[in-house]
Structure 1
Amino acid sequence: MLLSKARAAAPRRAFSRVAPFRPHLLAAALAGLLGAPAWAIDPFTLKDIRVEGLQRTDAGTVFGALPFRIGDSYTEDKGAAALRALFATGLFKDVRLEIVDDVVVVIVEERPIISSVEFTGLKEFDKEALQKSLKEVGIGEGQPFDRALADRAEQELKRQYLGKSYYGAEVVTTITPVDRNRVAVTFSVVEGEVAKINEIRITGNKVFSEGTLLGQLESTTSGWLTWYTKTDRYSRAKLNADLETLRAYYLNRGYLEFNVDSTQVAISPDKQNISVTVNVTEGQPYTVTAVRLEGDFLGKDDEFKRLITIKPGEAYRAESVADTTRRFQELYGQFGYAFSRVEPRTEIDRETGQVVVVLVGDPTRRVYVRKINVAGNTRTRDEVVRREFRQFESSWYDGRKIKLSRDRIDRLGYFSEINIDTAEVAGANDQVDLTANIKEKPTGNISLGAGFSSADKLSLNFGIKQENIFGSGNYLGLDLNTSKYNRSFVISTVDPYFTNDGVSRAIDVFYRTQKPINSQGQEYTLVTPGANIRFGVPFTEFDTVYFGIGLERTEIKAGNTIPNNYFLYREQFGDTSTSLPLSVGWQRDGRDSALVPTSGFYQRVFADWGVAFDTRYVRATYNVQYWLPLGKKFTLGLNADAGIGKGLNDRPYPIFKNFYGGGLGSVRGFDQGSLGPVDVTGAYIGGNRKLSLNSEFYVPVPGTGNDRTLRVFLWADAGNVWGEYEKASLSDLRASAGIGLSWISPVGPLKLSYGEPLRKFPQDRIQKFQFQIGTAF
């Protein structure tokens, strides 16, 4: 409270103030309560200012908040402003002003300081993360204690538990005073059990069955795998998303007037079970009879019409309308119209169940890009981002090039978020500035891990990688693998812009050992040290051609026994063979994801040509993959992998360059590397030609909803390996089929497979169950 005092009255009078401050109301209330008249202060010249009651706060903080100084004229309004300013600092529990002989005495009572913030009974949330988030809102060690903030923190913690379906969770805040005017804040939590959805009902549906509609929702009732997917946990946000999914399902089947009338959510008295009821009105289906364009389409109506995916004679599909609208805006953007508008309208005839879709286009104004900025990069150099732009400054705005630029920046892998914002230039209605807002992520890592497969058994992996060393966009890495059959030590460096035109350069130095799998226990090893250099030349935005040259030496180290073919090769050419291979390759990757692809196309061609020293050969491989989405939940994957090698200049094809087949990555159901020729000692020696054909049909694991990181797949494989002097025939193909499980685990992609050979030969070795971490097909 503010003390009001008459200069001629008693020498020292004071009032204390408790927020919120109302000077005129408090003065009147005080006069009534104390039975005394309110004191009024006549303005006077301030002789001095004193501060009392400080323990930790610096006196300068108090003086800095006061609206008056020594020598100023002091008034009631300035006193009230001083109290407001001091309370606004949040440092004081109480503040009083006393006036003695033209001296203002500021008497403060500091808020206690929080000595610690602790949690008890916490299981669902991470303690450190909660402490960090609370500190950001004022509840943290070393900060002034505010009871109102503590109460809000308690309510927010309860809300977080509600969001995770802990409807019985209780949170109690305990404030414990400690020495030196400090307090310990403890949040005691009783989490209880998770409330689970035990029933979901949809009423009012007539056209589609309740089971069909429930299959579209992310929320499910409890099942045998919901402990993993947590889809049986209720949250309002997830329910709203499900309702939008339901609405989209109907709108994509012609039901333009579909409506969710209401939703009822009921919770059991023990707060453990939740039932959800959704009431809908389907309306009638509508068929598109025509699509009409209105507005300004830049005189290019035919080009816009070719982009229409709405088909007259079929049911109205909201997805097709949205897709057509997006395509129109992108085409406007290619001509420089950055702010175009396309409005879809529907003309409904309820009697006939027909609808005409009208697309109204407005290009607004054409603009060009004045300037391109890069923001958010603290480590990566601007040029690393700028060189990926295909939209240039002082050129007409082109939405297609801007999207391509964003995709190219994203593919660098250096950033977790990339957004390109368009801003109008003040005072110029035909100019815009582009800003690439990026959020950097760590691009260097040290990895130490272990893998296990039915072929290689236990393997250890160690790697040091920096994909954006010194912010230059260059790659530097070291890899070490210690598997049973394939060991390697590789140092690699890549400069993606070795030239200004985007030609990349990669250098590898390696030391590899390989132990081919055989059936008779022969002990021999192929040791290959070497190095190579490759250049990648971008021919289009999506196609890159690689050229390279290498130097490697392969030594055949034999134990007590060795396969006959290797023995003969050593007898003819010696233990060591040196090669100088030239390489060329081409790659196009159009998959939607390299880890969990659901659509897209991938192709890769690679060839080696040994041109000098001990070996003369050519070796080529071709791999093609196609991923086809079948509805919302299912995916079909097809893969073909072929290879051929041939000796040149009357020399045989080097046996250590042979292909191997069988097992994961080839033909499952057969032992790893066991397909193809077998020499007189019974060893599997591979061949110079191979063919693998694979197909996989993916379905979500029952109970996991649409989770694509955990999927069951049915598979069918065919393939074989042929030796240099064998005739390659489709009648020699081995075939198998089975079932598998794919899981993107914390240690990498895991694939388990069980299958039965459908076509096999007497010498084949069968292995029905196979698994591996870190594999694709």
Structure 2
Amino acid sequence: MKRIAALILLASLSANALGFEPFVVSDIRIDGLNRIAAGTVYNYLPISKGDRLTNDEVQRAIRALYQTKFFSDVEMERQGDILVIKVTERPSIAKLTIRGNHDIKTDDLKKGLKSIGLSEGETFDRLALDRVQQELIHQYYNRGKYNVSVLPHVTRLDRNRVAVDIEIREGKAAKIKEINIVGNHAFTDKAIRDDFESGTTNWMSWYSKNDQYSSDKLSGDLNKLQSYYMDRGYADFGLDSSQVTISPDKRDMYIAADIKEGAIYKVSKVHLLGDLILPEKTMRRLVFIKDGETFNRAAIEASSKAMKAVLADMGYAYAKVDTIPKLDKENRTVDLSFYVQPGHRIYVRRVIFQGNTRTEDEVLRREMRQLEGSWYSQAAIDRSKIRLQRLGFFKKVDIDKSRVPGTPDQVDLNVKVEEQSAGSLMFGVGYSQYSGIILSGSVSQNNFLGTGDRFSLGAEKSDYYTQINASYYNPYLTDNGIGIGYNATLSKADYSNLGSEYASYSNSTRAFSTTLGIPITDFQGLNLSMGLSSTKINTYEGYTPQVLIDYQNAIGHRTIHTWTGSIGWTYDTRNSYWAATRGGLLSASVDGALPGSTVQYWRFTGEANHYWPIGGGFVLYLDGQVGYGSTYGNQTYDRTFGQYVAGQKYDYPFWQNYYAGGVKDVRGFQDNTLGPRVCAGLDPTTGKAAQPVNGNCNGSSYYYAQPIGGAFKVLGTAEVYLPLPFLKDINTARVSVFMDVGNAFKNYQSFQASQLDASYGISLHWKAPIGPLIISLAHPFRTQPGDQHYEERIQFTFGSQF
């Protein structure tokens, strides 16, 4: 066919050029142009005014214009000394429609079509459309859909345009009916295929799609089959053949693999050859297979990778470690050699930033742990990437190296970032089952003017709470990373608006603080804070629990003045802030009211959590928290003299109590409802404060006891994040199953493990356009008397909250 097409083209070219006598071209005229500019044709035309034109030159010119794919016909004529070129333009694509596709997204298809010139606005080429048709069929074959049909329809429109409609009928994927492994004796089919992606239909196939045939999946499974044997000593394992058979109706697939197991080999000797750089004793610590052990390819590959990693951290960026096994089939042993080729020691000439159109280079550069002019270190580069990702300014961060031409020992680092919005102007409505409707407005910028400083100003109002907050933080007050921040808050809370099951009192607070952040290492740092606050507390006779009224009467003040101070330590190794999959966070802080405050108290808060990838896309998360508070100094306020005198020590202030329960705490219970409870009002029979019995208030006008929190809190969480196929981007949404346990206690002495509440359930975390959305379906399975009044199986909160 190609030869016939070439002969036809040659004949047409000869015909178009027939009858030309050589002449000097005085002018060139082009007829037939509509969309294409004459200048474009002149750029491709190898003939100019003043050229002597021959038949050979004419044929070369026609070929050049055909190769542009702009024209379906080209003719050349002579009018005197004027060369007349008559062209027929190919139609342009006015509209491109793809329908019927489900497995492959339309946007992805259009990107692929555009790369070969089939897109709206481009010149239509029928041959390109035929290639597209075959390529699409091939892609669906790779997905196991052998019944697919791709039908292109071309409709002629006015003004030399066409509409291209590609109709895809995907059909159903062929299902795997049988997988037969022939030649296995040492292991069962089940053991061998346990890690295969391909499989026959079972009860989980609707989720895993394992029974849908894919050539890519099969190729990966055959590699896993080879690895399975070679990781267990079968050094001469062989895959003789593999066959895939399809039923006549193209719905059923049958897979067979013929293998030769071979024998189990032992490692006779491990040699380290080449330029080791480090002492051999040091390098041998990185070899995970020893003399006399069973051959294990996974251990060998891990050894090679570990040696290259160590050398890369020393500057040998292109180090090679080749594995050379010598099999002794008679004795069934392997003589194993690792040949180390470190290459040149590399240093980084320049670090080049790309893609940061809003963020200053300096903001990125100060996060880099790989410095210009220093030896290349892969560990420093990996750490730099994590630090950049955790800024929150970028969707994507890639760091690659490129050799400096002409210099074997230098590379440039190319840091490519894709920026995302680091600020927002938000007016929103949220809802929490605890707070009710939440109205909020805020302006925030985590990358203020591209400097990396953080600024926010916001207001929030809910059924019981109103707050205005302003903050500013400069993370690099000094070059070594000491940061300084300021925060001012005005807030008012009226808990009586939450219903009779909550302690009825209100408070209003004005506070200001300044914070100093001091880095210790890349992973840990200190935070020091000083500030002052003023809190006015209002209690209500007959509604507020008597114990809270008595406490306020004891201190003799409705307005509490506090000098605040805190010190906190964090150790953070998480690989992401929002959707971490490995690493963890350790934190501990002590804060409280300094001497001279109305009530002197301190409290300790600690947390430890960690993420572990456990295979298959599953991630295990464990978290533990503890909080403890107490007062210090013996002091009593003397109303007569208006000063503090030595006397009885106060209890821990109730407005600083810890609470438990809620969508971000012990799920399955209403927010802040677990822990100590008291009754409002006085028992009419005794004249004393009523005490809760099994969650009820005997003699009180209220049925439920009111939670008031406590000075000690314990919380634990075990959570497994699930790899769901419809949630491809874990940075947007995650689903988990969880178990929470915890409670609040009056003080440390009151703690009893038997009084810890617990629940289990499933949770969705979604970064929705309106703000973070959390939905939990929880079932409390361990409760205390009275807790049943506060159970809440479905909990959700959404919207931005300051």
Q: TM-score scaled to structure 1, two decimals?
A: 0.83
Q: Does 1:540 align with 2:521?
A: yes
CA distance in 2, matches of 1:450, 1:210: 57
CA contact (8 A) 1:591 1:597 kept: yes
Letter in 2 for 1:609: G
What are the residue-to-residue correspondences of 1:355-374 with 2, within 5 Å?
355-374=334-353
Aligned to 1:13: none
Partner of 1:435: 414
- Of 703, 706, 709, which residue of structure 2 is paired with 1:683? 706
Give the aligned partner of residue 424 of structure 1.
403
Map of 1:741 onto structure 2: 762
Cα distance in 1 for partners of 2:199, 2:175 equals 9
Aligned partners of 1:123 and 1:333: how far apart in 2? 44
1:473 maps to what in 2?
452
2:587 paired with 1:588: no
Amino acid at match of 1:654: P
- Report the secondary structure of 2:299's partner residue: helix
CA contact 1:490–1:511 (8 Å) conserved in 2:
yes
| Aligned residue identity for 1:564 | Q
- Equivalence map 1:332-351=2 (5 Å): 332-351=311-330
Of residues 144, 159, 168 in structure 1, which corresponds to 2:147?
A: 168
Q: Report deviation, 1:105.
A: 1.0
Q: Which of the numbers 629, 644, 655 marks the counterpart of 1:645? A: 629
The equivalent of 2:366 in structure 1 is: 387
Which residue of structure 2 lines up, in the alignment, with residue 190 of structure 1?
Answer: 169
**CA deviation digits over 1:268-326, x for unaligned, max 9?**
44444444444444433444455332222225223223333335555444333233222
Structure 1 contact 542–588 (Cα < 8 Å) conserved: yes
AA partner of residue 382 (structure 1): D
Structural RMSD (CA):
4.0
Deviation of 1:434 (Å): 2.8
Query: Whole-Å Cα distance in 1 between the matches of residues 37 and 550 of structure 2?
Result: 90
Letter in 2 for 1:740: G
Q: Does 1:565 find its partner at 2:586?
A: no
Q: 2:119 aligns to what? A: 140
Secondary structure of the residue that 1:676 maps to in structure 2? coil
Q: 1:728 to 1:196 in 2, by over 3 A?
A: same
Distance 1:399 1:449 in 2: 44
Deviation of 1:189 after TM superposition, in Å, equals: 3.0
Q: Which amino acid aligns with 1:504?
A: G
Distance in 1 between the 2:294 and 2:778 partners?
42
Alignment of 1:459-470 (within 5 A): 465-470=444-449
Secondary structure of the residue aligned to 2:593 is: strand
**More displaced 10-residue stretch of structure 1: 229-238 or 703-712:** 703-712
Q: Mean alpha-carbon deviation: is it higher for 385-394 or for 104-113?
A: 385-394
CA spacing shift, 1:493–1:754, aligned 2, 3 Å: same
Q: Return closer, same or farther for 1:118/1:563 CA change in 2, 3 Å cut-off.
A: same
CA distance in 2, matches of 1:691, 1:553: 29
- The one-letter amino acid of 2:711's match is N
- Give the counterpart of 1:212 among 183, 191, 215: 191
Q: Which of 68, 73, 85 is matched with 1:94 structurally?
A: 73
User: Paired residue for 1:754?
Assistant: 779
Question: CA shift at 1:605, angstroms?
Answer: 0.9
Greater CA deviation, 499-508 or 510-519? Answer: 510-519
Residue 83 (structure 2) aligned to one of 101, 104, 107: 104
C-alpha distance in structure 2 between counterparts of 1:47 and 1:702, whole Å: 71
Partner of 1:608 in structure 2?
591
Change (3 A) 1:428 1:735: same
Distance 2:400 2:231 in 1: 31
Inter-CA distance 343–524: structure 2 relative to 1 (3 Å threshold): same
More displaced 10-residue stretch of structure 1: 582-591 or 635-644: 635-644
Paired residue type of 2:63: R
Deviation at 1:385, TM superposition (A): 2.0
| Other-structure match for 2:92 | 113
Distance 1:514 1:268, change over 3 A: farther
Q: Do the aligned partners of 2:394 and 2:420 also contact (CA within 8 Å) in 1?
A: yes
Find the aligned partners of 1:61 and 1:702 in 2 and give their Cα distance. Answer: 52
Instruction: State how far apart, in whole Å, the 2-side matches of 1:269 and 1:481 are.
Output: 66
Q: Which amino acid aligns with 1:641?
A: Q
2:749 aligned with 1:727: yes
Shift in Å, 1:216: 1.2
The residue type paired with residue 417 of structure 2 is I
**Alpha-carbon separation, structure 2, partners of 1:96 and 1:50:** 12
For 1:585, the aligned partner's letter is G
1:499 maps to what in 2?
A: 478
Alpha-carbon contact 2:173-2:213 (below 8 Å) kept: no
Is 1:619 the counterpart of 2:642? The answer is no
2:119 counterpart letter in structure 1 = G
How far did residue 628 of structure 1 move? 5.1
1:735-759 Cα offsets, whole Å, 9 max, x none, are: 46665335555755654433422xx
For the structure 1 residues 357 and 63, does the alpha-carbon distance in structure 2 shift closer, same or farther, using more than 3 Å as the test?
closer
Over 3 Å counting, the alpha-carbon distance change for 1:132 and 1:305 in structure 2 is closer
Instruction: Give the total of aligned pairs.
Output: 745
Cα distance change of structure 1 residues 68 and 597 upon mapping to structure 2, 3 Å threshold: closer
Distance 1:591 1:317 in 2: 32
- Once residues 343 and 435 of structure 1 are traced to their aligned partners in structure 2, the CA distance between those partners, rounded to angstroms, is 28
The CA deviation at 1:465 is 5.0
CA offset at residue 604 of structure 1?
A: 0.8
In structure 2, distance between residues paired with 1:90 and 1:284: 61
Contact 1:23 1:80 in 2 (8 A): no
Q: Distance in 2 between matches of 1:94 and 1:278?
A: 54
Where 2:677 maps in the other structure, the secondary structure is: coil
Identity between Structure 1 and Structure 2 (%): 33
1:60-459 equivalences in 2 (<5 Å): 60-124=39-103, 126-127=105-106, 130-131=109-110, 133-222=112-201, 226-288=205-267, 290-298=269-277, 300-311=279-290, 314-351=293-330, 353-444=332-423
The one-letter code of the counterpart of 2:607 is: N
How far 1:539 sits from its partner (Å)?
0.7
Q: Would the alpha carbon gap of residues 345 and 427 (structure 1) be closer, same or farther in structure 2, given more than 3 Å must change?
A: same
Asked if 2 retains the 8 angstrom alpha-carbon contact of 1:518 and 1:684, the reply is no
Worse-superposed segment, 681-690 or 230-239: 230-239
Tell me, in whole angstroms, the C-alpha distance in 1 between the residues paired with 2:492 and 2:297.
57
What is the CA–CA distance in structure 2 between the aligned matches of 1:59 and 1:526, rounded to whole Å? 80
Q: Is the CA contact (8 Å cut-off) linking 2:501 and 2:707 kept in structure 1? A: no
Instruction: Write the deviation string for residues 490-532 of structure 1: whole angstroms up to 9, x where unpaired.
Output: 5544433232111233444445566768874554444445343
Distance 1:283 1:460 in 2: 71
Tell me by how many angstroms 1:85 deviates.
2.5
Determine helix, strand or coil for the equivalent of 2:196. coil
Aligned to 1:409, the other structure's residue is in SS state helix
